[in-house]
Structures are given as C-alpha cells and as structure tokens.
Amino acid sequence: MTAQIISGTEIAKEIREELKREIAELKEKKELVPGLATVLVGDDPASQVYVGQKEKTCLSLGIYSERYDLPAGIGQEELLTLIQRLNNSPNIHGILVQLPLPKQLKEDEVLYAIDPKKDVDGFHPVNVGKLMIGEPDFLPCTPYGIQQILIRSGVKTDGAEVVVVGRSNIVGKPIANIMLQKKEGANATVTVCHTATRDIAFHTRRADILIVAAGRPKAITADMVKEGAVVIDVGVNRIGKTASGKGILVGDVDFDAVKEKAKAITPVPGGVGPMTITMLMLNTVRAAKLAAGLD
C-alpha cells in the first residue's frame, strides 16, 4: 500500500478561493471590509517571513491589513497601549501578535490583552473556554487547518480512534478538544500522548487517525503506525542543508517509511503548514461578520 498524499497546499488554495468570493460579496453588499493587524516585535528572520506571508495573503484576498514592526526593546506598557488602540479600532477585526516575544515581555499578559472578539489566533482564555464547551467563535489556526484537511479529504472521523502525539497549547490540546466535539469532522474517541506516556507506540498503533505534533524529527516510525491509518504530520524540523545551501525540512513522521503503510498522509512541507495562514484569514472574515452582526 502506498498512501494518498494529502496536499494542504491544494486544500488551502480551495479555501482561499472561497474566501475571496465571500470577501468580495461582503464589500459589495454590506460595505464590510475585514481587517487584520499584525504586530511583530524585534527582527527575528523567521517571524519576519511569517508576517510577510500574512500580509501578502491579506492583499491577495482583499483583506485590509495593518502591520506594526516594533523594536525588540519595547516595554510592556507601550505594547499593551498599542493592543488597546487596535481593540478600539473599527477597521480592525483581527489582531495577531507574532510569537515568540522578547524575554522582557510577559507573553500571557500580552495575549490576554487582546479583545477575545478580535483574537483570531484563538489563544485567549475566553476562546479556549468556548472551544472546550463546543461553542467557539474562533478555533486556533493550525488545529482548525487539521480539521479542514480531514473534512475536505473525506476522512471519516465519527467514532474514529484519534491519537494525538503532543500536548502543546497551540496544537495538541486544542486539536484533541476539537476532535472530541459532537460535530462534523469530529465526534471521535481521542487519546493524547506526551513525554510522560510510558509506551507511545502502544497507543499510536491503535489510531485510525494519527496527529503528530511532537517537535522531534521522524519521531514516528512505520512500526508505530497501524496499516491503513490516516497520518497528519504537524512537525517542521530543519535537519541541515542541501549541497546548494537550501534548508532540509522534515516532519515528526518518518514520511518515506510510513507512506508505505498508511492510507493517507500529509507531507512536510506542503501539508498542514499552508493551512495555518489560510485559517487565520478565515477567522478574520468571521470576526468581521460577528462584529457586523452577520454571523
């Protein structure tokens, strides 16, 4: 068996085309322009790339965007003042503070200062709580992207054994809670494995759907995967460079070996990654509609 390769790139493209049409309709019929503000503190190269990609995506979809590049030495109060100004701006429906922040800043305090109605990352405790009870305004972007990959690939989740490897607040915990909900693309039996799990392979071999966000390259090998499982690889690990100097990226799953055993698998790159920014845009449009009483 050779697995179906699930292209997050293609699914993201499909969703963006849907969003582009919806945004055009909101502008034409409701005079509503969704707006996203991105806040970047410092000059971390990877963060600059991510924020640039978000800006470019906003432009391509017709979303209004504001970008704030702040010095690495900015104080807590100055950053919180900016967030409060964005909270009060009628043109901004979503606020994204690019992480990580410099060490002198209190990350939790900054994220909690964002109006939950503009928290399009889905990290505010109010939105985390709404996710827990099954009434979310916004789902965290990467887990939301994983769910959309499953739905749009026709993967049956109802009653499925889902095993999540990793318990981060960004991926592991939220995707586990999403898959537990009694809703479309969920309604699964969920097991979460982590660094204290005694025998991870025992659990992963039971998975109909295996979602891996372990943060370690090729941590999941073929002997840890059930024949015919669907494998979603969230990991992005740099393990060196090619002869031409290009970075080599691999996931948390041993892709070449596991694809011979799985029914379907996401690649790295080109799997979950492209979905994250797309779901951020979807959340921004939803925030605009909620603010206008349209959703």
Strands 4-5 and 264-265: parallel
45 located within any domain:
yes
Q: What is the CATH number of the domain that holds 237?
A: 3.40.50.720
Kindly state whether residues 82 and 202 are assigned to the same domain.
no
51 located within any domain:
yes
Domain with 43, as residue range(s), is: 29-115
Kindly state whether residues 97 and 158 are assigned to the same domain.
no
40 located within any domain:
yes
Q: Tell me the whole-structure pTM to 2 decimals.
A: 0.95
Number of domains in the chain: 2
Nearest Cα to Cα of residue 269 among 3, 12, 1:
12
What average pLDDT does range 276-291 have in this prediction? 98
Kindly state whether residues 77 and 190 are assigned to the same domain.
no
Confidence of residue 164 (pLDDT cuts 50, 70, 90): very high
**φ/ψ (deg, to 5) at 73:** -90, 10
Q: Contact, 272 vs 234, CB < 8 A?
A: yes
The three-class DSSP label of residue 82 is helix
Q: Contact, 139 vs 145, CB < 8 A?
A: no
Kindly state whether residues 98 and 168 are assigned to the same domain.
no
Q: Contact, 216 vs 255, CB < 8 A?
A: no
Kindly state whether residues 168 and 258 are assigned to the same domain.
yes
186 located within any domain:
yes
Bridge partners of residue 64, in order along the sequence: 35
Bridge partners of residue 220, in order along the sequence: 253
Kindly state whether residues 201 and 262 are assigned to the same domain.
yes
Q: Contact, 222 vs 258, CB < 8 A?
A: yes
The alpha carbon torsion through 33, 37, 38, 39 (nearest 10 deg) reads 170
Kindly state whether residues 75 and 191 are assigned to the same domain.
no
What average pLDDT does range 212-239 have in this prediction? 95
Give the model's pLDDT for residue 94: 98
Give the model's pLDDT for residue 231: 98
Residue 245 has pLDDT above 90, yes or no: no
Kindly state whether residues 214 and 103 are assigned to the same domain.
no
**φ/ψ (deg, to 5) at 263:** -80, -40
292 located within any domain:
no
Residue 241 has pLDDT above 80, yes or no: no
Q: What is the CATH number of the domain that holds 97?
A: 3.40.50.10860
pLDDT, the chain, mean: 96
Residue 212 has pLDDT above 90, yes or no: yes
The residues annotated with a catalytic role in the active site are 54, 98, 121
Record the tokens describing residue 146, joined without a space.
């994983």
Confidence of residue 2 (pLDDT cuts 50, 70, 90): confident
Rounded to 10 deg, the angle between the 8-30 and 141-152 helix axes is: 110
Q: Could you tell me which residue, 242 or 186, shows the higher pLDDT? A: 186
pLDDT tens digits for range 40-98: 999 888 889 899 999 999 999 999 999 999 999 999 999 999 999 999 999 999 999 99
Residue 239 has pLDDT above 80, yes or no: no
Would you say how long the chain is, in residues?
Answer: 295
200 located within any domain:
yes
Confidence of residue 244 (pLDDT cuts 50, 70, 90): confident
Kindly state whether residues 85 and 153 are assigned to the same domain.
no
Kindly state whether residues 181 and 258 are assigned to the same domain.
yes
Give the model's pLDDT for residue 176: 98
185 located within any domain:
yes
Give the model's pLDDT for residue 114: 98
Residue 32 has pLDDT above 80, yes or no: yes
Q: Contact, 222 vs 242, CB < 8 A?
A: no
Nearest Cα to Cα of residue 66 among 38, 102, 29:
38
Residue that is written with structure tokens 């979950």 in the block: 272
Residue 204 has pLDDT above 90, yes or no: yes
Kindly state whether residues 151 and 269 are assigned to the same domain.
yes
Give the model's pLDDT for residue 240: 76
Kindly state whether residues 218 and 98 are assigned to the same domain.
no
3 located within any domain:
no
Bridge partners of residue 84, in order along the sequence: none
Give the model's pLDDT for residue 152: 97
